[in-house]
Structures are given as C-alpha cells and as structure tokens.
Structure 1
Amino acid sequence: MVIVFVLVALLVLAVVVAANWYVWRRLFRDTTAGPGRTRRLGAALIAGGWALAVGALVAERAGAPFWLQRVLAWPGFLWLALSIYLLLAVVAGELLRPLILRLWQRRRPAETAVPQHEPVPAGGPAKAAEPPRPPAPAVEPSRRLVVSRFVAGAAAAAAVTTVGYGTYGVLRGPRVKRVTVPLAKLPRAAHGYRIAVVSDIHLGPILGRDFAQKVVDTINATQPDLIAVVGDLVDGSVKDLGPAAAPLAGLTARHGAYFVTGNHEYFSGAEQWVEEVRRLGLRPLENARTEMPWFDLAGVNDVQGESEGHGPDFARALDGRDPARACVLLAHQPVQIHEAVRHGVDLQLSGHTHGGQLWPGNLLAAAANPTVAGLERYGDTQLYVSRGAGAWGPPTRVGAPSDITVVELASRQA
C-alpha cells in the first residue's frame, strides 16, 4: 500500500513538473531570443508561486499561527488558480499559433524574383549575371518569435482576467437562487414554506468576518421560514475564527437556524465548532431529528466524522419517525443520498461539491458525486446540492458561481 502511494505521488509530481516546464517554455523560453534574465525570472516566478501554494496548504493543515496562514494564503492560493488557467490558456494557444503563422504568411508572401531586361552595353556585358538568390523561408525565425510573444501575452492576459473575475465573484458574495421542490407528503398548510440553504462558507485566512456578514445579510433578506447551514462553515479553529463567525448570531428565521457538520469541520475541531454554533444561536443536528409544524427535519454528521468515531448514523436520526410525514434531511455530502433513499427521506439538502469551483473541476466533481449541483431525483427521494457560498483554497470560482438557495416547498394538495 505504501509503495502504491509513493508511486502515485511520484507520478503526480512528474506531471506537475512537466506541466510547469511546458508553461515556462511557452511563456518565457519561446518568447526570448536566448538565455538571459527574463528566462531566469520566469523560472523563479513559477517556482516561487508553487512554494507559496504548498506553504499555504501545509500551514492551514498543520495549524500554523493564523497570521502566517493569512500571509501565505492570498498569494499561494491565487497562484494555484492562476497556474491552472495559464496551463489551459497555453494549451489553447497551440491551436492559435499555426493559424497566426499561416495568416501572416498569406499577407506577406515571399517575394518572387522577376527577371529584369536591362540594356546591354555596346561592349557586351560587364560581368556575368549573378545567380538567382534562393527564395526566403516561408517563416522566418524572427516571425516565429513575434508570434510566440503574441500568443504568450494573450494566454497570460486570459488567465489573469479569468482568475481576477472569478475572485471578484467570490468576494462580492453569493447570489440568491430560488428552487421549488414539490413534496407528495407535504400538507396544504405548508405550501410555499421557504428554507434558506447555505453551505461551504469556508471562513478562514482569506474569507473572514466581512464575508460572514454578507452571507448573513443575504440570507436574512430572503425572509426564510427556516435556515439550513449544511457544513464546511470554517477552515480553522474556534480560537482563530470565532470572531469571523460571530455574525452568524444575527441569522433570523421564523423557525430558527440549523447546522450539520461538513468534512472541513473535522479538520478544524468539530466538537468545538458544534458548541460555538450552538452558542451563536444555531441548533446543531448531530444524527438527530426534530419535528417542525408540517414535516420532520433531520441531520446527520459528515462521513469524515467516522475518523473520530462521530460518523453519520441514519438509523439514530431517522428510525421511529412517522412515515406519513414528509422528511427533509440535512447532509453535507451528496453521496449520502443512497442511505437517505433507504430510510425513506423525501428531500436531502447538501453542498460539498462547490459545483466544481474551478472549471473543468466540475468533471472531477461529477466523478466523485452523484449530483454536482441542482435538483435531481433518486427513486422517491429528491436531492438538492448547493454550489456553496464561499470557496476553498483559491478564493476563486470559474463556471460555478456561488449561491445561497431558497428552497420553496410545494404541496401537491395545493
């Protein structure tokens, strides 16, 4: 098992090194006439970016001093996002490069020698005519250099613009999304009941108190009947992030706010965070159920809790309930839907995937989750997956905008 892990790690390292060498070659080596300062600066930039990125990841996981996490997080995590889109842009540039060369060649074709008939002096030609010069090459080296610089500049501009806009989208705060979910067992009196679903806020070294306040203000503006915080609230300890989470005390809903753990809570001290959110006025559902006026609301721990002996317990949360009543389950990860189906849940509310966060990360998310985002049906159970309000790692989203979802329950008797 250890050998397999080492081989996989070496393979991943080789791929990362090869990809970065390729980016360096296209952005710096191919855009310069020879060895010099620019190539060395390019190598230092790429190596330094990755050093900061690895440092940011290690500092967060190792619980380094919070000031150090904050110093490393911004440049390190932004470099992760930028490196992805530099690579994608440079690969796309391979399609652009031959097209530009071909167009240039058509606009500036090689000159063809045309014989000129000059008058011959009376004494005959002064000297033998010079042999015709060979035609100029189709593409001169200088022309290739100019094209390489243009493609590299376009790739860098595209990557920076993409990451910049994706970061602005996260820092601006999540937008409200509205979804109507009909439930067969929901009584007429509950028709139009609104649940504000928020997941993956990821308060940490980058997203702090101001971001939490934006989330709270956005949720309260929807005037929900109930608030569901479905995991991955934080990336850090209560000691470091307690002040950042303080605005959650301002969440307001007619039937209160509820919380279930996500996998990142178990990297951050889950027991302490459960007590902290309870102190802030949210009600944790740790493999538990409560009866709302018209349906049952249940919550299960995240699967990551199994490593601490506090994993999901569907039987504890769902057994013994009245099967005639509709049941809404809060569960962080979409993969928990299969247990929800077996226990007769009507609707599961989840997060975790971030919708992929950074395209084409949605393809990887789809391989690991039954649903990446949105509403889908599994037998008699419906699953709604939010893209989440914040971001993990790079504070950037591309192709997966953040959201807070207002799920409006609909009775088929209405």
Structure 2
Amino acid sequence: MFILVLGSILGLMTFYVWFRTIRDTTGPGRRRRILTLALLGLTALLVLTLVLPRVTGIEQSGWFAWPGYVWFGLLVYLFLALLVIEPVRLVAWLRRRRAPAEPTPGLDRRQFLARAGAMAAGAAAVGVTGVGVTTAMGAPDVLRVPVRLPRLDAAFDGFRVAVVSDIHLGPLLGRAHTERIVRMINETEPDLVAVVGDLVDGTVEQLGPAAAPLADLVSREGTFFVTGNHEYFVDGTTSWLRELERLGLQVLRNENTRIRRGAAAFDLAGVNDIAGESRSDPPDFGRALRGVDPSTATVLLAHQPVQVAEAAQRQVDLQLSGHTHGGQMWPFHYAVELAQPVLAGLSTVRDTQLYVTRGAGFWGPPLRVGTRPDISVLTLRT
C-alpha cells in the first residue's frame, strides 16, 4: 500500500515536471520526444530503485539505487521549484489576457518564459540536491548536551551517554558508514552507548558484514539497542537481534537493566518500536519498566518520540529517541511534526525529558536539507 501511494504521488509529480519542463518549452517534434523518453527512463529507474532491491538483493542494487535515489531527490526539488514559479506564470498569463502581444517570428513570449522558468527551477533543484547529498554523506555532527536528572545519584554526575539512531545500513550506506560512526563514538569515550533503532534496511545475510564494526564500540557500561520501525520491515527481525547480541550489543526487548557505580544505580529500560505490533512484538511499557526503583532515575530507550506520552505517565525521567531524522528534507519536516511531538533536541513532556537525535544516516534519497546528521553525547547531571 505504501509503495502504491508513493508511486501515485511520484507519478503525478513526474507528469507535472514533464508538462512544465518539456511540453511547455518545446514544440511537437523530435526534441520533445527525446526529452520525454529521457524523463520516462528516469521514472523507470526510480521504480526499479524502489522495488528491485527486494528481488536482486542489497549488493546487486547499488548500481541503480544511487542514480535512482538521487533522481528521486532532484525530482522532489524540481517539483517544488516549479511550484514556486507558478504565481509568476499566473501574472504573466493575466497580462497576456489583458493586452495580447503581437505575434512575432521565432520563439514566442510564452515559450521564452517557460524555458526561463524551467532553467531557473532546474538550477535551484540541482543546487539544493547537491548541498543535500554533501550534507547527508558527510560526517555526523557530534553534539554534546547536558541533561539534569533530579533523581540521578551524585555518583553518576558527568555520566556520558552516546546516542545514535537511524544508521540505515542498506543499498547506499555500508560498512564504511558503520566504521566512521563507531570511530566517532569511541573518540567521545562514552560511559554507555545507546543505539535507538533503524539500524538496517535488509537481512543479516545481506548486511551482516556492514554491521560488523559495531563489535568495536567501546564504553564502560556497554552498548544497548532497541528496535526501530525498519527492523520490522525486513525479514528476519529475530535474526538481527541475535546477530547484534553476537556483536556485543545488549538488546532491550521490553526489559530493563541496572547500571551501577558502587552502591549507586539507575535503571536503563528499552521498549520495542510501535511497528512491532505487526509482528506480534509490540511495545510493552509495563514489562519494560517492571521492577525499576522509583527512588532513582530511569532512562528509557524508545525509537519513536511519540512513545513519550506513555513514558511520562509512568514517571520515566529521560527518554532517548530517534526516528525523525530531524525532518531530513525540507519542507517535509512539517509532515513529521504532525506525527511526532518534536523533531530534534531536548524537550520536556510533563515531568519526563525527551531527547531526539537527528540520526546518523538517511532513508530514501541520500539528501539532508535543513538538517544535519548527528551523534549525540548526553552528559547526565544531578
């Protein structure tokens, strides 16, 4: 259903782009046919990019996934740029209606304006897409954020939690991406690493080697993982959780553990993602928080920020989430804001603090526009 809806939207966008950049700028004939065939070819490439990796596998899809997804991003911003020009087109049309121009030989005024608009939109789309690809493929920012927890024991004052999410290993991001993230996290010398979901977009057989560098993560208290929605979009969710445990990550599957320093402690809990309901593996806050000490701090790992509503009801002190990508591609962050309580950063819901990382990877087009990838290091303070 998702592919059907997305395909319909992309089909309408492609038709609009054809109408404004090809039909309006050329007359009937050979040039229009060639440009139309080129656009149809790019459309076919995009369809292959969305569908074929499920058939060919991750390793065999890279050669068409890269140009396909880049065209996806370029199509989006070409569509938006052309929409921005529509008021100018309307004004020009109204002026022609009031004072029809005298016919002149060669290129008419309407076609000249159409070509000028198409060129301006194309230049803007290429520029935005280029910046977006550079940002998405660049090294994540390392954000250092102090978080005060009143119930945290003084023994943990200065405790550092490295939070990373949405790594999205798949056709476009592989082992080198994981190696860079692991190196950057280790350089922060964290006390604990929290990987809050959406690690993979493929099976263990396809992406196991790409995830293998996670075994090199170093922290005093270990690395913990909770599922994101994408862990349930692939075949073999349980296989992935076993593989991560083999790599040394502790999976919190609706459960909690005590983090200790001498006689002091706080509770670290994790809940499954909401998408787990489709695989009979839903989030269970009651089970995840069973046995936690109400007199000390509780930190919850939950992939989606929207899960903070129930966390707040259960007096969780701090929830760590991802999922939003910070919106990933402007202006689509407005749609994300409708579904999630916050895009990124630290906020408070009732008495529960919520921290949302913008993620270290991307999904779909390899673009980030208006937001950068990050690895967040939270320093807990009493």
Amino acid across the alignment from 1:58: V
1:338, distance to aligned residue in structure 2 (A): 1.6
Whether 1:321 aligns to 2:289 is: no
Amino acid across the alignment from 2:57: P
The partner residue of 1:22 within 1, 6, 16 is: 16
1:151 corresponding residue in structure 2: 117
The partner residue of 2:108 within 124, 142, 145 is: 142
196-205 or 330-339: bigger deviation: 330-339
1:45 corresponding residue in structure 2: 38
- Distance of aligned partners of 1:49 and 1:335 in 2 relative to their CA distance in 1, 3 Å threshold: same
> How does 1:177-188 map onto structure 2 within 5 Å?
177-188=143-154
Structure 1: how far apart are the matches of 2:273 and 2:55?
A: 21
2:331 corresponding residue in structure 1: 360
User: Per the alignment, in what secondary structure is the counterpart of residue 367 of structure 2?
Assistant: coil
1:99, distance to aligned residue in structure 2 (A): 8.0
2:28 corresponding residue in structure 1: 35
2:313 corresponding residue in structure 1: 342
2:172 corresponding residue in structure 1: 206
1:146, distance to aligned residue in structure 2 (A): 2.9
1:36, distance to aligned residue in structure 2 (A): 2.4
Structure 2: how far apart are the matches of 1:249 and 1:15?
A: 41
User: Per the alignment, in what secondary structure is the counterpart of residue 66 of structure 1?
Assistant: coil
1:231, distance to aligned residue in structure 2 (A): 0.3
1:275 corresponding residue in structure 2: 242
1:31, distance to aligned residue in structure 2 (A): 2.0
User: Per the alignment, in what secondary structure is the counterpart of residue 26 of structure 1?
Assistant: helix
- State whether residues 59 and 206 of structure 2, in contact with CA within 8 Å, keep that contact through their aligned partners in structure 1: no
- State whether residues 69 and 366 of structure 2, in contact with CA within 8 Å, keep that contact through their aligned partners in structure 1: yes
The partner residue of 2:57 within 60, 65, 69 is: 65
- State whether residues 59 and 68 of structure 1, in contact with CA within 8 Å, keep that contact through their aligned partners in structure 2: no
Residue-by-residue CA offset, 1:121-172 (whole Å, 9 max, x unaligned): xxxxxxxxxxxxx995799963433332222112111111211211111111
> How does 1:13-412 map onto structure 2 within 5 Å?
16-32=10-26, 34-60=27-53, 62-96=54-88, 142-268=108-234, 269-293=236-260, 294-411=265-382
Structure 2: how far apart are the matches of 1:309 and 1:91?
A: 43
Amino acid across the alignment from 2:310: E
User: Per the alignment, in what secondary structure is the counterpart of residue 201 of structure 1?
Assistant: coil
User: Per the alignment, in what secondary structure is the counterpart of residue 292 of structure 1?
Assistant: strand
Structure 1: how far apart are the matches of 2:221 and 2:184?
A: 18
1:342, distance to aligned residue in structure 2 (A): 2.0
What TM-score do you get using the length of structure 1 for normalisation?
0.83
User: Per the alignment, in what secondary structure is the counterpart of residue 180 of structure 1?
Assistant: strand
What TM-score do you get using the length of structure 2 for normalisation?
0.90
Q: Which runs of 5+ in 1 are unaligned?
A: 106-133
Residue-by-residue CA offset, 1:93-123 (whole Å, 9 max, x unaligned): 2345578999xx9xxxxxxxxxxxxxxxxxx
Structure 2: how far apart are the matches of 1:232 and 1:380?
A: 27
- Distance of aligned partners of 1:196 and 1:14 in 2 relative to their CA distance in 1, 3 Å threshold: closer
- State whether residues 269 and 300 of structure 2, in contact with CA within 8 Å, keep that contact through their aligned partners in structure 1: yes
Amino acid across the alignment from 2:367: T
- State whether residues 58 and 170 of structure 2, in contact with CA within 8 Å, keep that contact through their aligned partners in structure 1: no
Structure 1: how far apart are the matches of 2:250 and 2:55?
A: 27
Amino acid across the alignment from 2:51: V
Residue-by-residue CA offset, 1:170-220 (whole Å, 9 max, x unaligned): 111211112221111012222221111000000001100111111111111
- Distance of aligned partners of 1:406 and 1:38 in 2 relative to their CA distance in 1, 3 Å threshold: farther
Residue-by-residue CA offset, 1:333-359 (whole Å, 9 max, x unaligned): 112112211222100001111122111
- Distance of aligned partners of 1:322 and 1:57 in 2 relative to their CA distance in 1, 3 Å threshold: same
Q: Which runs of 5+ in 2 are unaligned?
A: none
Q: Rg: which structure is higher?
A: 1
Structure 2: how far apart are the matches of 1:347 and 1:139?
A: 71
344-353 or 266-275: bigger deviation: 266-275
User: Per the alignment, in what secondary structure is the counterpart of residue 143 of structure 2?
Assistant: strand
**Alignment root-mean-square deviation, CA:** 2.8
Residue-by-residue CA offset, 1:15-40 (whole Å, 9 max, x unaligned): 544432221122122222x1123322
Structure 1: how far apart are the matches of 2:4 and 2:187?
A: 47
